[in-house]
Chain A
Amino acid sequence: MLPKTADIVIIGGGINGTSLAYYLAKKGIKNIVILEKNFVCSGATGRCGAGIRQQWGTPENTSLAMEAVKLFETLSEELDWDIEYEQCGYLIPAFTDEFADQFSKNVRMQKKLGLDVSYLTPQEAKDIVPDLCVDNVRAATYCSTDGGGNPLLTTYAYAHRAKELGVKIHTKTEVTDITVSGGNITSVVTDKGTISTPMIFNAAGGHSQEIAAMVDIDLPINSYRHQILVTEPVEHFFDPMIISFDYNIYFRQVKHGSILMGCSDTSEKPGYDTTSTLDFIKDITTRSIKIMPKLKKLNVLRQWAGLYNVTPDAMPIIGDVADVGGYFQAVGFSGHGYMLGPKVATLMAELIADGKRDEIIDRLSLERFKSGNITVDSSVC
Chain B
Amino acid sequence: MFEKMDPEKVIVCRCEGITLADLRDGIERLKINDLEELKRIYRCGMGPCQGRTCEKVIKQVIQEFSNNEVDIGSYSYRPPLVPIKFEELANVEANDVT
Instruction: Give the chain B neighbours of A41 by CB distance below 8 A.
Output: 37, 40
Question: Does A112 interact with chain B (Cβ within 8 Å)?
Answer: no
Q: Determine the chain A residues whose CB is within 8 A of the CB of B48 once the complex forms.
A: 232, 299, 301
Stretch binding the partner chain, chosen from A3-11, A48-56, A152-160: A152-160
Number of A interface residues at 8 Å Cβ cutoff, please give it: 33
Report B's interface with A, CB cutoff 8 A: 30, 34, 36-37, 40-41, 43, 46-48, 50, 71, 78-80, 83-87, 89-92, 94, 97
Stretch at the interface among A17-25, A284-292, A340-348, A369-377: A284-292
A286 B91 Cβ-Cβ under 8 A = yes
Q: Which of A131-139, A237-245, A273-281 contacts B (4 or more CB under 8 A)?
A: A273-281
User: Please, which residues of chain B bring their CB within 8 A of the CB of A39?
Assistant: 34, 36-37
Tell me whether A299 and B84 are in contact in the complex, defined as CB-CB below 8 angstroms, given that A282-B94, A289-B90, A304-B78 are known contacts. yes
Chain A: minimal CB distance from B44 (Å) = 13
A40 to B71, CA, bound (A): 15
Q: A296-B87, A299-B48, A303-B78 are known contacts; what are 12 more A-B pairs with Cβ within 8 Å?
A: A41-B37, A41-B40, A42-B36, A153-B41, A156-B37, A171-B34, A281-B79, A281-B89, A282-B91, A282-B92, A286-B91, A300-B84
On whether the beta carbons of B86 and A295 are closer than 8 Å, the reply is yes
A residues within 8 A CB of B92? 278, 282
Give the complex CA separation of A297 and B84 in angstroms: 9
Q: Would you call A302 an interface residue if the criterion is a C-beta within 8 Å of the partner chain's C-beta atoms?
A: yes
**Option from A40, A156, A256, A285 in Cβ contact (under 8 Å) with B90:** A285
What residue in chain B is nearest A258 (Cβ atoms)?
B46
Is A46 part of the binding interface, using a Cβ–Cβ cutoff of 8 Å?
Answer: yes
Q: Which residue of A lies closest to B78 (CB)?
A: A302
Question: Known contacts being A40-B37, A256-B43, A276-B79, is A299 close to B91, with CB within 8 Å?
Answer: no
**Does A298 count as interface, using CB distance less than 8 angstroms?**
yes
**Residues of A contacting B83 in the complex (Cβ-Cβ under 8 angstroms):** 232, 299-301
Q: Are A303 and B79 in contact (CB under 8 A)?
A: yes
Q: In the complex, which residues of chain B have a beta carbon less than 8 angstroms from the beta carbon of A231? A: 86
Chain A hits for B79, CB < 8 A: 276, 278, 281, 302-303
Cβ-defined contact, A152 with B41, below 8 A: yes
Find out whether the CB atom of A285 lies under 8 angstroms from the CB atom of B89: yes
Contact flags (1/0) for A27-46 with B, using CB distance below 8 Å? Answer: 00000000000011110001
Q: How far is the CA of A42 from the CA of B36 in the complex (A)?
A: 9
**Contact digits for A121-133, partner B, Cβ 8 Å, 1 yes 0 no:** 0000000000000
A295-B86, A302-B50 as given contacts; A152 in contact with B40, CB under 8 Å: yes
